[in-house]
């Protein structure tokens, strides 16, 4: 029987992975349980417990995008060095590894969806550390590593854009949201289930893009959140990125292509609108 270890199990995706792994032999490690920057601890948690054919899903990450600009060493330790340690430990035990990555490995200047093999060109500290993490994981476990890039993640567990919008809807008559950043809102539960389809298949190692289909601006996303939450979408006012200057640059275009799923015989994730509607119908998102 396949055994699973999930690192970063206390986060939004990690919590949804608990549901996706229900009924399986799985160990869930939060940051308090495992410091992935500690080689001995990683070996004890992974290499010493797993064997050939088992799976490690590394959802542990430094995700404070703006803070990473002034704390890049800390972000690098987790997102790059730690990711590499997890992948190397998995390789030593013959296990496969799934590394969760991000659209921030690209600069956001494209005008068509980024292919899985497109050159990395991060423009933020967070993006640089995640890009190096990808490289380390693929090098440490070349035959057994899956890099799953995601973007614009929201869900029931933990802070995210959807919950923020619902909170602001209840507090303010109008909310300004940028219209000049384009991406793919992605439901964390959909992503967790897709990761399980990946590891249950005989898909080749490599890079996969774990985002819901279609495209949207943050403005589009916010309008549908308001509508599904019972608020007036006309109270969302469009603005541009220049109105929200932040320490880390945001990619203007974060649409990711899904060809690798087709190549592996796995359907990509559904359209983001369908996913968001189901999220509202089934989760605590409606009462955030």
Could you give the number of structural domains in the chain? Answer: 1
Query: Where does residue 214 rank: exposed (0-12), middle (13-18), buried (19+ CB within 10 A)?
Result: middle
Residue 233 lies inside a defined structural domain of this protein: no
Residue 221 lies inside a defined structural domain of this protein: no
Q: Is the pLDDT of residue 287 over 70?
A: no
Q: Provide the domain limits for residue 62.
A: 3-155+184-213+256-269
Residue 67 lies inside a defined structural domain of this protein: yes
Predicted confidence band of residue 288 (pLDDT cuts 50, 70, 90): very low
Output the pTM of the full model. Answer: 0.97
- Cite the active site residues: 126
Q: Mean pLDDT, to the nearest integer, of 168-181?
A: 97
Residue 70 lies inside a defined structural domain of this protein: yes
Residue 194 lies inside a defined structural domain of this protein: yes
Predicted confidence band of residue 244 (pLDDT cuts 50, 70, 90): confident
Helix 125-140 crosses helix 83-93 at what angle (to 10 degrees)?
Answer: 10
Residue 36 lies inside a defined structural domain of this protein: yes
Sign of the Cα torsion 10, 153, 125, 148 reads: positive
Residue 174 lies inside a defined structural domain of this protein: no
CATH of the domain at 128: 3.40.50.720
pLDDT in the model for residue 284: 54
- 107-125 per-position pLDDT tens digit: 999 999 999 999 999 999 9
Residue 113 lies inside a defined structural domain of this protein: yes
Q: Mean pLDDT, to the nearest integer, of 205-216?
A: 98
Q: How far apart are CA 27 and CA 18, in angstroms?
A: 9
């Amino acid at each position: 029987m396949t055994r699973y270890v999930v690192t970063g199990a206390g986060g939004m995706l990690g919590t949804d992975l608990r549901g996706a792994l229900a009924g399986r032999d799985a160990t869930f490690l939060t940051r308090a349980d495992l410091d992935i920057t500690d080689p001995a601890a990683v070996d004890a948690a992974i290499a010493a417990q797993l064997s050939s054919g088992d799976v490690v899903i590394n959802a542990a990450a430094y995700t404070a995008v703006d803070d990473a600009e002034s704390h890049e060493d800390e972000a690098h330790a987790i997102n790059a060095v730690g990711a590499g340690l997890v992948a190397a430990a998995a390789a030593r035990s013959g296990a496969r590894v799934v590394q969760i990555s991000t659209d921030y490995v690209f600069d956001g200047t494209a005008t068509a969806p980024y292919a899985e093999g497109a050159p990395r060109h991060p423009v933020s500290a967070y993006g640089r550390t995640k890009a190096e993490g990808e490289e380390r994981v693929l090098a440490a476990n070349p035959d057994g590593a899956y890099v799953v890039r995601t973007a614009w993640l929201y869900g029931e567990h933990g802070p995210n854009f959807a919950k923020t919008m619902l909170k602001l809807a209840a507090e303010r008559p109008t909310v300004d949201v940028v219209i000049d950043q384009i991406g793919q809102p992605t439901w964390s539960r959909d992503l967790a289930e897709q990761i399980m389809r990946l590891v249950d298949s005989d898909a080749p190692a490599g890079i996969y893009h774990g985002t819901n289909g279609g495209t949207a601006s943050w403005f589009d996303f916010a309008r549908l959140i308001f509508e599904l939450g019972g608020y007036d979408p006309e109270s969302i006012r469009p603005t541009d990125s220049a109105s929200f200057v932040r320490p880390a640059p945001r990619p203007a275009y974060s649409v990711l292509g899904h060809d690798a799923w087709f190549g592996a015989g796995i359907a990509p994730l559904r359209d983001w609108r369908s996913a968001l509607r189901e999220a509202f119908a089934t989760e605590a998102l409606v009462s955030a």
